[in-house]
Amino acid sequence: MEIIEIKKDQQQYISEIAALESDIFPDPWSEKSIRDTLENPQARIWAIISRQAPPCSCASTAPEHASETAASCASTAPEHAGKPQLLGYVIFYYVLDEGEIARIATSPQHRRQGVAVRLLEKMRAFSYEQNITRWLLDVRISNETAIHFYKAAGFAKDGVRKNFYANPPEDAILMSCEVETSGSDRA
Ligand SMILES: CC(C)(COP(=O)(O)OP(=O)(O)OC[C@H]1O[C@@H](n2cnc3c(N)ncnc32)[C@H](O)[C@@H]1OP(=O)(O)O)[C@@H](O)C(=O)NCCC(=O)NCCS
């Protein structure tokens, strides 16, 4: 698994994220809203991908390699690495010492394998670099899986905002998480 930052010229990933949005969320972000977000210098979209190694021709052309698996070949020959598969992504904003998670999602086939937690770990490292000391988010009150996930990651409930969401209408739980950075203890 590898984490990459999505850039505005990466149309393939933008389409794949929009497709996952449609599969997962009742109020999905469109390709346009994803592209617009990538225009914002205070926003980031990171994706976690895996590169499946395709069948390798080494074994057929070089008998001495016959016992090598495609995976071991791909690890030594990057040009043999397969098409990247999108496992999950996070969309977030940050201004000064505060960040906000707008979306985080893992493809249904790859859940409970630590994908989303890997994204949060990278965000923690980013917090240290940028001196972000507090992360905020809102989550639909019915989304118990996400609430469990955020609590496990150290987020605490701050309150409820009535009728925060449309499509369908629903209350939001507001959550936040403090991060200690080198800047946090500055006077
Ligand atoms: C919430 C979501 C992003 C979690 O992604 P994930 O990659 O499956 O999460 P991880 O495997 O990294 O889980 C980390 C921890 O979160 C908690 N967790 C994750 N899914 C959980 C579930 N279904 N039930 C209870 N706890 C859960 C667990 O503590 C888990 O650790 P463990 O597996 O060691 O017990 C994923 O379920 C998802 O995409 N949901 C739909 C989109 C969504 O609702 N996003 C949040 C609102 S934007």
Extract the tokens encoding 145.
């899986």
For ligand 1, what atom is nearest to the CA of residue 106?
Answer: 39
Q: Kindly state whether residue 138 falls inside one of the protein's structural domains.
A: yes
Please tell me the residue having the least CA distance from ligand 1 atom 23.
145
Residue 11 Cα distances to 7, 34, 54, 119, angstroms: 9, 10, 23, 21
- pLDDT attached to residue 83: 84
Q: What is the pLDDT of residues 99-139, one digit of tens each?
A: 999 999 999 999 999 999 999 999 999 999 999 999 999 99
Cα–Cα–Cα angle for 89, 92, 95, rounded to 5 degrees: 160
In a domain, 48, yes or no: yes
State the average pLDDT over residues 168-186.
85
149 CA distance to ligand 1 middle (Å): 5
What is the extent of the structural domain holding 34? 2-178
* pLDDT at 155 > cutoff 90: yes
Residue 62 falls inside a structural domain: yes
- Within a domain: 142: yes
Q: How confident is the model at residue 7 (pLDDT cuts 50, 70, 90)?
A: very high
| Predicted pLDDT of residue 18 | 98
CA of 61 to the centre of ligand 1 (A): 44
- Beta strands per DSSP E along the chain: 2-5, 43-51, 84-95, 98-106, 134-140, 156-165, 170-178
Give me the chain's average pLDDT, please.
88
For residue 107, which atom of ligand 1 is closest to its CA? Answer: 39
Give the range among 27-41, 66-80, 147-161 with minimum mean pLDDT: 66-80
Is residue 184 domain-resident? no
- Helix H or strand E encompassing 33: helix 31-39
| Residue 79 one-letter amino acid | E
Ligand 1 nearest-atom number relative to CA 119: 12
125/44 Cα distance (integer angstroms): 14
Give the per-residue pLDDT at 82: 74
Percent of the chain with pLDDT over 90: 77
Residue 120 CA, closest ligand 1 atom number: 12
Distance CA 21, CA 29 (A): 6
**Nearest in space to 15 (alpha carbons), one of 39, 35, 36, 1:** 35
Q: 148: domain CATH number? A: 3.40.630.30
pLDDT for res 69: 45
Of all atoms in ligand 1, which is nearest to the CA of residue 146?
1
Tell me which residues have their CB closer than 6 angstroms to ligand 1: 24, 88, 103-106, 111-117, 139, 143, 145-146, 148-149, 152
User: In the predicted model, is pLDDT for residue 61 greater than 70?
Assistant: no
> What spacing in Å lies between the alpha carbon of 73 and ligand 1's midpoint?
33
pLDDT at 76 over 70: no
Q: Is pLDDT larger for residue 104 or for residue 71?
A: 104
How far apart are the C-alpha atoms of 66 and 175, rounded to whole Å?
Answer: 54
What is the tens place of the pLDDT at every residue in 89-101? 999 999 999 999 9
Q: What is the pLDDT of residue 68?
A: 46
- How far is ligand 1, taken at its centre, from the CA of residue 105, in Å? 8
In a domain, 183, yes or no: no
Number of domains in the chain: 1
Distance 30 CA to ligand 1 centre (A): 23
